[in-house]
Amino acid sequence: MDATEKTLEAVRAMAAAMEERRVELTQLDAAIGDGDHGTNMHRGFRAALERLQASPPGTPSEVLKAVSMALVSRVGGAAGPLYGTAFLRASSALSGREEPSAADVAAALEAALAGVKQRGRAEVGDKTMVDALEPAVRAARQAEGKGVAAMLRAAAEAAGEGAEATVPLTARKGRASYLGARAAGHKDPGAASTAYLLAAAARAVEG
């Protein structure tokens, strides 16, 4: 399987994860937001698969670009533009890389994080997807020498821990910030979806 097909497999796995986790993510968002995160993400990834089917991509970068466009136009809310930016930055970082190395993939994750932080102005501890993505990037950089699959696995595990760590926090960004102390005791839905997306990508690449 070439890198474009592997990237497509990763996106298919992410779409399947968003379908599987739709209710759970929506319940997390119902507790501290407006109860739409799971349906938003599911809709967006379904649109991504449709877009990829309609015009088959030729490179990993093109796969991620198509996902970005679908997420921006179909997810909506806060997460749509943020995930759209993440995938667009990752796409740009992989531009010209037909067979990305682990270091290239780590750089793409880092670019995604930078885009999310620039766009959403959130830092670790604000109870957002950054709480999952930033530790994932750190873990990816540390595991770069182990190859793409092991690196994504390490990133996904760190993202899962980061998402768990949002439970006691009060939110400083997004809708949950309107709740003040009442947001404490609930996991951030965007951090949870980030961890599920990375876990799905890792599983797909592990094969």
Residues at the interface with Mg ion (CB under 5 A) = 29, 33-34, 36-37, 77
Q: Compare residues 6 and 187 and give the one whose CB is closer to ligand ADP.
A: 187
Best CA proximity match to 71, nearest among 135, 115, 132, 33 = 115
In the region spanning residues 47 to 76, those forming contacts with ligand ADP, defined by CB under 6 A, are none
Provide, rounded to whole angstroms, the least separation between the CB of residue 75 and Mg ion. Answer: 10
Provide, rounded to whole angstroms, the least separation between the CB of residue 23 and Mg ion. Answer: 14
Q: Does 134 bind ligand ADP (CB under 6 A)?
A: no
Provide, rounded to whole angstroms, the least separation between the CB of residue 175 and ligand ADP. Answer: 4
Residue of minimal Cβ distance to Mg ion: 77
Provide, rounded to whole angstroms, the least separation between the CB of residue 195 and ligand ADP. Answer: 11
Provide, rounded to whole angstroms, the least separation between the CB of residue 164 and ligand ADP. Answer: 14
What is d(CA 27, CA 33) in angstroms, rounded to the nearest whole number?
Answer: 9
In the region spanning residues 84 to 113, those forming contacts with ligand ADP, defined by CB under 6 A, are none
Q: Does 190 bind ligand ADP (CB under 6 A)?
A: yes
For residue 47, give every residue at least 6 positions away whose Cβ sits within 8 Å of its Cβ, in sequence order, or none: 70, 71, 73, 74
Provide, rounded to whole angstroms, the least separation between the CB of residue 190 and Mg ion. Answer: 9
Q: Does 189 bind ligand ADP (CB under 6 A)?
A: yes
Which one of 48, 67, 71, 129 is in contact with ligand ADP (CB under 6 A)? Answer: 129
Q: What is the 3-state secondary structure (H, E, C) of the chain?
A: CCHHHHHHHHHHHHHHHHHHCHHHHHHHHHHHCCCCHHHHHHHHHHHHHHHHHHCCCCCHHHHHHHHHHHHHHHCCCCHHHHHHHHHHHHHHHCCCCCCCCHHHHHHHHHHHHHHHHHHHCCCCCCCCCHHHHHHHHHHHHHHHHHCHHHHHHHHHHHHHHHHHCCCCCCCCCCHHHHHHHHHCCCCCHHHHHHHHHHHHHHHHHHC
Q: Compare residues 38 and 60 and give the one whose CB is closer to ligand ADP.
A: 38
Which one of 37, 43, 51, 203 is in contact with ligand ADP (CB under 6 A)? Answer: 37
For residue 20, give every residue at least 6 positions away whose Cβ sits within 8 Å of its Cβ, in sequence order, or none: none
Q: Write out the residues near ligand ADP by the rule CB under 6 A.
A: 29, 33-34, 36-37, 40, 77-79, 82, 116, 120-122, 128-130, 173-175, 188-191
